[in-house]
Structure 1
Amino acid sequence: MEAPSAHGHRGRVPWTGLQLAVSLLIFWIPPRSGGFTVESRQNNVTSNFCTIISATYMPPGTDVLIWYKGNITNGENRIASYFKNHGSVIPGPACNSRQTINTDGSLVIHRPTRKDSGYYTLEAVRGVQSLGSVSIQVFLLDPETPFSVQESPSTVQENDIVFIVCQTNGKRFSVNWYVNEQKLQKKHNMYLSSNQYTLTINPIRRQDSGIYRCMYHRGMRFGRSESLTLLVVQSDRSPHK
């Protein structure tokens, strides 16, 4: 059974009042920055951390929430569909064994790694009608190891909403952020979570291109993340409102 969805389209459809939560350490962003939250939760059974992406607001009359990997809402990219009325979940072609859907419709990524970085899109559906969709881009920075390799620059489009998350193998540390090996000087479009684990750039600008990294420490223990090279290019989509 294929979940209802709009025809594949690229970009974002306006969704008035939509708020999303991308989990990795609780963080509410002011309305002007998109209404997203970022948190991290620990599994009480396994003690592993997981990333939870959830919608704290949905358009009235939403029957189905559909999660996609990427910024295109088509069948091949569908992670799963959540049917609110009876609480059932239908996995899609893009779903893997580490992804589940909570009873509130949130997407849970267990044992997240840098490979889980990328666009995530949520679409709301009523009956067979798409009420709109919204996309965000998430980068997960794993701790640096002797085997870490420098990856190619990650290209993002100007005016995108970008989350960069510092992962510390499930341990609590004090965190600092660096851009081009200099301590981060926050700009008006940059927001840090209260525990510093998540850096949000919204909207991202061409001048925000650079090499991002987090440093973390607790007592005599310290470490740093792998680096993320962001290349911001001119957008081919309308800016966020």
Structure 2
Amino acid sequence: MKIGIIGAGSIGTTLARRFSAGGHDVAVANSRGPETIGAEALEFGAHAVTSADTVKDKDVIVLSIPFARIPAVAPLFASAPDQTVVIDTSNYFPHRDGAIEAVDNGQVESLWVTEQLGRPVVKAWNAVLSQTLEVMDAPAGTPDRIALPVAADTEEARRVGMRLVDESGFDPFDAGTLADSWRQQPMMPAYCTELDLRDLEKALNAADRDAAPRVRDRMLERVLEFTSTPTREQLLELNRSAHR
């Protein structure tokens, strides 16, 4: 597949490496220009391009940028083919993104993204720590392989999203429609807790929509208590402890 990745942070870089190593034609862009894309993202054959070029003639576009920046890239999608599948990895964190009234008032994050872009998205890779994505991938069929939720409004888009999650080294779980994707938003039981398929389904079903913002803000306070950058193990324990 021809895959464009907008965003070369930890998740965008890992996906660029994984997909290009797997034989896909991968183009990567960030907001600062192709000359600033790190060599790590390009090691297995991905190529650095402008943001405009990431959306041209692509089968899939992965959007991996901070939630609040999504409106700024929305004009790019006017030139993307209608059949292109757009996958969004972002999450809303008010302390970073600033207050977004519609989401604060209960709009599902992925539906807000859909409105900004003017086209539907697939929600995937938002419920995994960047460190987990980088180091905990495993071949299909591996016992206790970590599973990730994938939400979309069409069967074809969901199929593509689930295929790519599988190729990235994780079991894909059909998490339903975008309206249901609140279950995989920050600080829900399924969010960054490294569960297998069976336990992920239980976690999605246990989600409490009303409690999530309070849990998110409480967990942020605990993150800020760390005196150095928390490790994957520390963040995993923090996320799991929120639902014990």
Indicate whether the TM-score tops 0.5.
Answer: no
The structure where strand makes up a greater share of residues is 1
Q: Greater Rg, structure 1 or structure 2?
A: 1
Q: Normalising by the residue count of structure 2, what TM-score does the alignment of the two structures yield?
A: 0.31
Bigger relative contact order, structure 1 or 2 (CA pairs below 8 A, ≥6 apart) = 1
